[in-house]
A and B are shown apart, each in its own frame.
Chain A
Amino acid sequence: MADSLLKTNKATIRFGGLVAVNEMNLDVQRGQLFGLIGPNGAGKTTIFNLLTGVYQPTSGDISVDGVDIRGKLPCEISALGVSRTFQNIRLFADMTVLENVKTACHLRSKQSILDAVFRTKKHQQDEQEQETFALELLEIFKLDHLKHEKSTSLPYGSQRRLEIARALATRPKLLLLDEPAAGMNPQESVDLMKLIGWIRDRFELTILLVEHNMKVVMGICERIQVVEYGQTIAVGTPHEIKTDKRVIEAYLGSA
């Protein structure tokens, strides 16, 4: 068998009577760029919330790199190497662009509180490293010239890119992107998708991508899973998906 980084086995979550995710099996290989698509309300964001510990599954297993993550806190899962962006942008509003990214560097920070209180050498080195890494990430996303702007003063598309930069600052193995191109114009989304492919190689990531725009996903994903009403209706290569009858019915019919 190939090398799975993320695996769910019949992951299910109910909200009262609604089964938002129903016996979902996901298998994402290390290094893959994996697309998750489906119509509105299909349960894509809910899957992300299950994978990151925001919600706990009602039943089923979820493991990342062989580690069972059920019952773990979001921050613990993040420490295991899972990072994400949010569909409804969640930046640290009153902080600058640079601070947003530096905040996420905290996870791999080496100083202790006492280092900070006494401003030790370790503290200064660590702060310096955070700054350097954060600036490097901002540069990749062409946000470095905006580093001292308040994060929420950025245009929508830049805010989405900033969220990705922030997610990368935790040095993840698995990156979950929830509709990163939403609200961008076609040119911007094409550029973004190219960039996503590039960072995957640059940071040796595995990426799980939720995206509405079929064309975009088909263009860059190696494997795609289609969900509807919380259930998988197809998994396969872009080519297989494109020709799947149920997908055409369900997804293209409603999108």
Chain B
Amino acid sequence: MLQTFIQQIINGLALGSIYALIALGYTMVYGVLRLINFAHGDVYMIGAFVGYYAAQKFGIASASGQISFGGALILMMTAMMASASLGVVIERFAYRPVRKYPRLTSLITAIGVSLLLENGGQVLFGADPKFFPILNSAVTYTFGSVTVRLTDIIIVVVSVSLMVLLQTIVLKTKLGKAMRAVSYNLDAAKLMGINTDFIIAFTFALGSALAAAAGILVSLSFPKIDPLIGVLTGLKAFVAAVLGGIGNITGAVLGGFLIGIAETMAAGYLPQSLNSYKDAVAFAILILVLLFKPAGLMGSVAPEKV
């Protein structure tokens, strides 16, 4: 009993760090633009595919589809750079032109971009799944009946390092300071001479890079990828961001881990017949939390001034 519990916690931590990484992108973009970037989950998918094709192009993977740790690192860097550029392009050509319109317009545009990436992906990559290279040092450690996969450890370690890196950028650098200023008040930041367009683009680049990193990490662990993997994962990561209090970076990480753990718990404890409900868990938690804390766990809403 206890062992199942520990096992699910470990699985949950791995899954949760993925959600947290993606949630960060949602939350940062929401912070600066008040926009739900629906396409973010698809940027995560693109990250995975960039890794897949890079592995083939660079000839990193062995004939049997295995890669070394260093190889994986190269894939991740490539994917992060590619997705960051994609994020900037999306912002420049889809979101910036509608920024002056009501917020609903941006939301619908974001849905459009998301559909474009998913369906464009199906045309470009084909709808059938591809198989990502596997780490050649992929091992499992067993403690009693609890098994820990090396990939899970890598996921958690890399994710947490990236989160720390992000936190450092946001809190310690000039760019980070500007980001916070834009989040706080875009118009005021502009008046203070901050190049807000650049900061917004930078935010998209950062968020997209993190999503791509998540895409690679997941693919190393679950190598089957297709153009729709971003849909549900993206939705849940978004839910995590809202749950934590959208716009709040710590909240996104907290929300990510909560959703991840709740989901693996549901998978571990729900009877087989109810297993399909594990995908509903994230939404159920979100709805419950929002009903009692309408701004999420760590967010705050100022009542509208009348």
Contact = CB atoms under 8 A, between A and B. Distances in A.
Interface residues of A, number: 5
A54 interface: yes
B192 interface: no
Contacts of A54: 306
Contacts of A49: 306
Contacts of B306: 45, 49, 54-55, 86
A244 to B, nearest CB: 30
Contacts of A86: 306
A201 B306 CA distance: 29
Nearest to A178: B306
B220 to A, nearest CB: 48
Nearest to B304: A54
Interface in A74-105: 86
Contacts of A45: 306
A45 B306 CA distance: 8
A78 B237 CA distance: 42
Nearest to B302: A15
Interface in A28-74: 45, 49, 54-55
A45 B303 CA distance: 15
Contacts of B303: 55
A55 B303 CA distance: 9
Nearest to A49: B306
Nearest to B303: A55
Interface string B295-306: 000000001001
Interface of B: 303, 306
| Shortest 6 CB-CB contacts between residues of A and residues of B | A54-B306, A49-B306, A86-B306, A45-B306, A55-B303, A55-B306
Interface of A: 45, 49, 54-55, 86
6 contacts: A45-B306, A49-B306, A54-B306, A55-B303, A55-B306, A86-B306
